[in-house]
Chain A
Amino acid sequence: MINFTMPDFTQAYPEMFVLAMTCVILILDQFLSDARRSITYYLTQLTVIVAAVLTFNQFGTDTVVTFSGMFVNDSMSVLLKLAMYVVMIGIFLYSRAYLTKRGLLKGEYYALGLFGMMGMMVMISAHNFLTIYLGLELLSLSMYALVAYDRDSMVASESAMKYFVLGAIASGMLLYGMSMLYGANGTLDISAINDSINSGTASKQIQAFGLVFIIVGLAFKLGAVPFHMWLPDIYHGSPTSVTLYIASAPKIAAFAMVMRLLVETMPGLQSDWQTMLIMLAVLSMAIGNVIAIAQTNLKRMLAYSTISHVGFILLGIIAADKAGYSAAMFYTITYAITSLGAFGVIILMSRNGFEADQLDDYKGLNQRNPWYAFVMLILMFSMAGVPPTVGFFAKLWVLEAVINNDMTWLAIVAVFFSVIGAFYYIRMVKLMYFDAPEDEQVLEGSADMRLALSLNGIVVLGLGLFPGSLMALCVAALA
């Protein structure tokens, strides 16, 4: 007899709503002329906002596993989704200006963007290897298409190709690792695998091998060294509006994937993945920070900067306790917001035919526009970890978690490389404040863009001044 229980659809309301709306937008957009394309934009934002409201209604409810164990709704998923919506609203807002200026404002951007968001929501709420993979692929395929969105651009097409090929390899490895764990434990359900590993009946050897492949998949998605090679090229080659996307929201989803796959599925293999992550983290911090120094392109520099921040996020996972996970979550969320702002500034600075992606383009920004120079300064200081910006507390708590778990050496390594990293962030500040401007053009940008960007900078500063509430949410999300 087939044992079928009705899934609890209420738990998946946001996902269902986003799916429906995305289809509506996809079709509706076909009937809109370019002049009325803003309807698509507003519908998209509305979708994200309504999804946020729906998700917010789930705030504070108990953990529910439904859809035959495929789908989970817990406090972590709610918090991460909410953070992701905030970032997504920023992404759609900033990229609209970019796309409009270049005549690229088409409905596909929004449809693909929403599908990607769907994928991330599924990843965050996944409770089964299949769901994780499904979400990941939905996100990745949307991303590949988005990178090639400006299809006349040679660079963009090349980037998309690279991303697709490497992404396919990584996906393959992840699937391979999952299949090994399936082979060893006979199930794809996260809780069931956890029980099986703890029972100690399955082959340790196969599990360890499976773990390696899964970690490779995760490391690729996060962009940890040595699986980071795609990152600088894709950041650089994509239109800035897409780089903005890749660089912010998916980090939150990737963090969720790490939590689901390593922390929830394989606490029994903790000592194994801990050591592997230490290698990846140290390499990421070292390579990311050191190479970033040699970059002259801001987008590439931020790509390497991302790699080094991934190292820091991994530190929190490595600490392998509640404090570490919540610190890593705090780090991820605030980094996504900071990164969003940095690319937002690039978009604000750029205009048709001028990408504003060279470091030298930022010379003397303070004289041209002191306020946005200040916003950029806050963002750079936050990435460097200068108090009182939020980046300082993110680093502080991660390091604290690491030290409390008797890995002081790792904290020293992390601090050492962030000192090296501080150089290229502060170089940006130097360029903006102490060099003479080469370009006297007045900054363009719509009112909503300017407002959002200002708000973005203020949030980064404000979260640094009052980090307590967000941190409390992160701690509560893991309770």
Chain B
Amino acid sequence: MNMENIYLAIPLAPLFGAIVAGLFGWKIGRAASHWVTILGVAVAFALSMLVFKHIVIDGAETYNKTVYVWMISQGIQFEIGFLIDKLTTVMLVVVTFVSLMVHIYTIGYMKEDPGYQRFFSYIALFTFSMLMLVMSNNFLQLFFGWEAVGLVSYLLIGFWFKRETAIYANLKAFLVNRVGDFGFLLGIAAIVYFTGSLDYMTVFGQADTIASQNIEIFAGVPWSAMTVVCILLFIGAMGKSAQVPLHVWLPDSMEGPTPISALIHAATMVTAGIFMVARMSPLFELSATALSVVITIGAITALFMGLLGLVQHDIKRVVAYSTLSQLGYMTVALGASAYSAAIFHLMTHAFFKALLFLGAGSVIIAMHHVQDMREMGGLKKYMPITYWTSLIGSLALIGFPGFSGFFSKDAIIEAVAHSDIAGSGFAYAAVLGGVFITALYSFRMFFLVFHGQERMDEHTREHLHETPAVVTVPLILLAIPSAIVGWYTIGPMLFGDYFGASIFVLPEHNALAAVGESWHGPAGMVTHGVMQPPFVLAMLGVFTAWFLYMKRPDIAESIKNKSGLLYTMLVEKYGFDRFNEIVFAGGARGLGNLFWRNGDVRLIDGLIVNGSAKTVGWISGIIRNVQSGYLYHYAFAMILGLLGLLSWVIYSS
């Protein structure tokens, strides 16, 4: 079969499902809507596996071709094209697999929702957009996918559009992403400016020319063009992948239904920024400054967002802050030039974070949409499948040796230790500290939900039972890769030449190579890992969680009471929200009011629009009096006209 048709079919199958469910969902009904979208995504998944076999196992050549030329403007091609290499293949498999799981899970989660068909249409549309993003071979299509996933994210966060908080959250997500996207767009514009092309390969081929140029944004201050380009692109990634300070939208996005929190705001869309930076590695490698920025931002996100997870009561928000923190880890890996480690962690994280979200969703279904952990506890005996799968997810998250998260997280930590880019010292401390924090909040949540006293009310308790198969089967299917995928993939992905030419690392930045020198297979890594500080820290975190929340809850309470300022700071999320609300939102509203009152109401409406209308009306009222009704006036006008024309003839000749 022609591979090009397969590549086309992968994004188009979900798009077909989305269109059918979206436009005809009201007609074909609920079951048909979920069948058509699930089939679409299942086809995409099956074909992705085929591509995986074709590219990875059979080792076929990288495919890079234009499918359709939209237009050519001043020599710049605007086109749709696919670049299918091993990096793309990983993303294809992860995206379609998680999406498929989430689709199935949604049948159970959204069972009673009136917007059932709409929801399926949106998530299938999301899958299409995300696939277009990762399969792109040019910046235009990348940007299209980037904006399209942002749009669907917006629609899904506000899925319950009658909830005030949901509307607030989706507006916030939209606005914050706008800031990031603006930087991203400027970055693409800068690339076009320097290279005159939107095609990846052409741009990468001219990377040295960009790096050799300077740009003066402020007169007299020359900046390296490559640094400017990379930082602008990274601002886009900061918005999409929720890095400090553009992270504020992600916790609020939890207003959306849980399946999309798993799919969009944990596993796939938020990792688009990570993917993009990895894809652009030939550019980022040439700017040490940009890499330093990346690693610093990532480290701040990894540590400080994890801390916020400690004080949350909403089960989904804990997972959300955990996502932020893990995205920070990936960004740190990017900054340390360990792009493959970032993608590796992206993959493992997609599995276990989707699992954790869906597990949380399963708990929420059982609890009749109560999300506050203070009203849970002791769910283990009611929901065994959810319990065990969540345990696997949590162990993977904290990096328990042998689980997938262990391999990817330890690889990142090791890579940072070997990196000598500016900022890597701070980053190392942050990611190491983050391990403890991760374990602490993960197991705090785990213990509060599944162990200890049953704090829910009587009515809820009576109805507690394990969720249906459409929910638990995806949990189990996700738990399998969460547990074992690291064993099989770490070797080729990190230390083999899996990515080949997809990722470019300068020799002097190659921290992973240094790690690889002392690497002797996954089993060796596990035995070695047990004696390393990350493992000790993680165990310490689990123990602390158990001690504070199971054994002696009173100590937790008194710590909370005594650490007044610190606690307030955490609850207030370091004041980012308040700052944005007062300075940016308030400022923008003030400015808008100013222009509206003076510019729009007074000048444009008052003077120009209404003023001119009044003037015309006034003139009209006067001239109409010429039409007196008297015959001799009319005849006189004709004579005047004749005289006018005659005098013109005499004058002009």
Contacts and interface: CB of A to CB of B under 8 A. Distances in A.
Interface of A: 161-162, 165-166, 169-170, 173, 204-205, 208-209, 211-213, 215-216, 219-220, 225-227, 229-230, 232-233, 272, 275-276, 279, 287, 290-295, 420, 423
Contact of B646 (A204, A209, A293): A209
A173 B623 CA distance: 26
A215 B627 contact: no
Contact of B631 (A166, A215, A290): A166
A420 B653 contact: no
Interface stretch (B202-210, B521-529, B612-620): B612-620
Contact of B638 (A166, A204, A275, A293): A166
Contact of A229 (B638, B642, B645): B638
Contacts of B648: 275-276, 279
Interface of B: 613, 616-617, 619-621, 623-624, 627, 629, 631, 633-635, 637-638, 640-642, 644-646, 648-649, 652-653
8 contacts: A165-B635, A166-B631, A205-B653, A226-B637, A232-B627, A233-B634, A293-B617, A295-B624
Given A205-B653, A227-B641, A279-B648, 5 more contacts: A166-B638, A226-B640, A229-B634, A275-B652, A294-B617
B642 A213 contact: yes
Given A166-B631, A212-B646, A276-B645, A220 B620 contact: no
Given A216-B638, A226-B637, A226-B640, A294 B645 contact: no
Contacts of B623: 287, 290-291, 294
B645 A212 contact: yes
B620 to A, nearest CB: 4
B617 A229 contact: no
Contact of B635 (A169, A208, A291): A169
Given A290-B616, A294-B617, A423-B613, A233 B638 contact: no
A64 to B, nearest CB: 35
Nearest to B628: A229
Nearest to A212: B645
Contacts of B653: 204-205, 208
B621 A294 contact: yes
Nearest to A303: B627
Report whether over half of chain B's contact residues are helix, strand or loop; otherwise say mixed: helix
A478 B2 CA distance: 56
Contact of B620 (A227, A275, A279, A291): A291
Contacts of B644: 226, 279
Report whether over half of chain A's contact residues are helix, strand or loop; otherwise say mixed: helix
A300 to B, nearest CB: 9
B641 A226 contact: yes
Contacts of B642: 173, 212-213, 216
A177 to B, nearest CB: 10
B26 to A, nearest CB: 26
A209 B645 CA distance: 9
B627 A291 contact: yes
Given A170-B638, A213-B642, A229 B616 contact: no
Nearest to A276: B645
Contacts of B641: 216, 219, 225-227
A303 B635 CA distance: 18
A173 B645 CA distance: 13
A229 B630 CA distance: 10
Contacts of B649: 208-209, 211-212, 272
Contacts of B633: 229
Contacts of B631: 161-162, 165-166
Contacts of B627: 229, 232-233, 291
Contact of B629 (A213, A233, A291, A420): A233
B616 A230 contact: no
A282 to B, nearest CB: 13
B617 A220 contact: no
Name the 6 nearest CB pairs between A and B, nearest first.
A229-B634, A226-B641, A294-B620, A293-B620, A294-B624, A212-B645
Given A212-B645, A291-B624, A169 B638 contact: yes
A69 to B, nearest CB: 29
B381 to A, nearest CB: 66
A428 B575 CA distance: 56
A233 B629 CA distance: 7
A290 B637 CA distance: 18
A294 B641 CA distance: 23
Contacts of A213: 642
A263 B238 CA distance: 69
B399 to A, nearest CB: 63
A282 B96 CA distance: 66
Contacts of B613: 423
Contacts of B620: 290-294
A213 B642 CA distance: 7
Contacts of B637: 226-227, 229
A245 to B, nearest CB: 21
A170 B642 CA distance: 10
A161 B629 CA distance: 12
Contacts of B645: 212, 215-216, 276, 279
A232 B633 CA distance: 14
Contacts of A295: 624
B627 to A, nearest CB: 6
Contacts of A216: 638, 641-642, 645
A213 B631 CA distance: 20
A227 B638 contact: yes
A423 B619 CA distance: 15
Most buried by B among A173, A213, A220, A291: A291
A212 B648 CA distance: 10
B638 A220 contact: yes
Most buried by B among A208, A276, A295: A208
A232 B637 CA distance: 14
Nearest to B632: A165
B626 to A, nearest CB: 8
